Amino acid sequence: MYKRDLNFERSWQELLTRLEEMIGKKPKDLNAVLFLIGVQELGKGNISFSKEEKQDLMHIAICKVLSYSGFYELEGLDEQGWPHWKLVKKTPNFDLIEQEKLLKIHVLEYFGETLFSKEGID
């Protein structure tokens, strides 16, 4: 178990380093990484977002990564091109540490499938 946790943490740090190389700034925490995923999923590039839009981007990212476990399903895009997700199964009652770990596991999966197979972040 301990070795697996070390490997997980090493993978997370490698992701942060790789993101720093790609965007020129190391994301400071999980929320910053989720924001990047939200921007990527929206697909409009690096534009200015309002505070409410930034919260919406975080929601998009959380839904996207939790879709890997079947918790969310993409419903479609609205008229402005923003993705909308629906909850398809209740998320477990995890404590904060477990929630963060689940999100990080799926964030690593997301970047393994999407951005690391491309040249960089849009």
Domain locations in the chain as residue ranges: 2-117
Task: Detail the DSSP E strand segments found in the chain.
Answer: 72-77, 83-87
Would you state the pLDDT for residue 36? 94
Q: Sign of torsion, CA 93 97 100 104?
A: negative
Would you state the pLDDT for residue 122? 40
Residues 19-33: tens digit of each pLDDT: 999 889 999 999 999
Residues 34-49: tens digit of each pLDDT: 999 999 999 988 789 9
In eight-state DSSP terms, residue 103 is H
Q: Would you place residue 59 in the very low, low, confident or very high pLDDT band (cuts 50, 70, 90)?
A: very high
Residues 73-107: tens digit of each pLDDT: 999 999 999 999 999 999 889 999 999 999 999 99
101/108 Cα distance (integer angstroms)? 10
